[in-house]
Structure 1
Amino acid sequence: MLPKEGKELHATSRQSNDLTDLGRLIAEALRGELGDTHRTIKTVMRWTGASERTVKHWVSGTHLPSGIHLVLLARHSDAVMTQFLVAANRDTLLVGMELSAVKAKVLKVLHLIDGIDGD
């Protein structure tokens, strides 16, 4: 018989809900960025090396990617990285991501301008 007071044996419902929400948010991010087609499944499989069934669970939001798979998804998907940072309460880091994206676009425009000036 277990005592009525003391350490909890299981994650609290708040922690469980947070993980469920993260799984749903990652699924929405993947579908929003890649669409809701079989090509999405194949793309995520290529990114992560995970099986088709596993990726289908992620895209449907019923399972949460763990460990290296979450890192690989964040490496390839800005939307997944954004959701991960928001879930970790580190959304202030999003400004750095946005600045990096803007810098890349400015550099691309500068190369286009240089190409026009070189003609």
Structure 2
Amino acid sequence: MESVDSRRFADLISAALREEFGGNRSSVKTIARLIDANERSVKNWFDGTNGPNGEFLVRLCRHSDRVLEVVLLQSGHAELIKVRKLALVREGLHQMLEILDEIEFSNAD
């Protein structure tokens, strides 16, 4: 696993934020509101000027699957991404089965 310096970390976070939220002014405002951060700081993250500190990084992970993936990959825990995706797929399948059951039972009437 390669080490990550602060410049590379900021670039990875920037790419993740842009991929998930876009890179416009409203994206910055949305993130700032979601995680209760200063808009200037969030703009710096989007621009790759610097990365978020620990507290804001945790808050970002709550709202951004891409940021969470970056953190897991860079900390050497790629296997947790697979586990998380599998859990999401199972949840989706469960919801689909519930919908199919509802359709089946509503057609039985």
Aligned-pair Cα RMSD in Å: 1.6
Instruction: List runs of 5+ in structure 2 lacking aligned partners.
Output: none
Identity %: 34
Q: Which stretches of structure 1, 4 residues or longer, exceed 2 Å deviation after superposition?
A: none
TM-superposition CA deviations, 1:85-113 (whole Å, max 9, x none): 11111112111111111112112211221
Q: Which residue of 1 aligns with 2:42?
A: 55
Q: Match of 1:52, as an amino acid?
A: E
Change (3 A) 1:46 1:118: farther
How far apart, in 2, do the equivalents of 1:76 and 1:68 lie? 13
- Contact 1:22–1:84 at 8 Å: present in 2 too? no
Instruction: Note the residue ranges of structure 1 that are not aligned, 5 or more in a row.
Output: 1-13
Provide the rounded CA distance (Å) in 2 between the counterparts of 1:88 and 1:28. 17
Give the total of aligned pairs: 105
Task: Indicate conservation of the 8 Å contact 2:32/2:38, yes or no.
Answer: yes
Q: Which residue of 1 aligns with 2:76?
A: 89
Cα distance in 2, alignment partners of residues 39 and 117 from structure 1? 43
If the length of structure 2 is used for normalisation, what is the TM-score? Answer: 0.87
Which letter maps to 1:79? R
Aligned pair 1:33/2:20, yes or no?
A: yes
1:61-92 superposed Cα distances (whole Å, 9 cap, x missing partner):
11110111000101111100000111111112
> Distance in 2 between the 1:65 and 1:52 partners?
12
TM-score, normalising length: structure 1:
0.81
Q: Are 1:20 and 2:1 counterparts?
A: no
Aligned to 1:110: 97
Q: Give 1 or 2 for the bigger CA radius of gyration.
A: 1
Q: Which has the higher contact order (CA 8 A, sep 6+)?
A: 2
Q: Give me the whole-angstrom Cα distance separating, in 1, the residues matched to 2:20 and 2:10.
A: 15
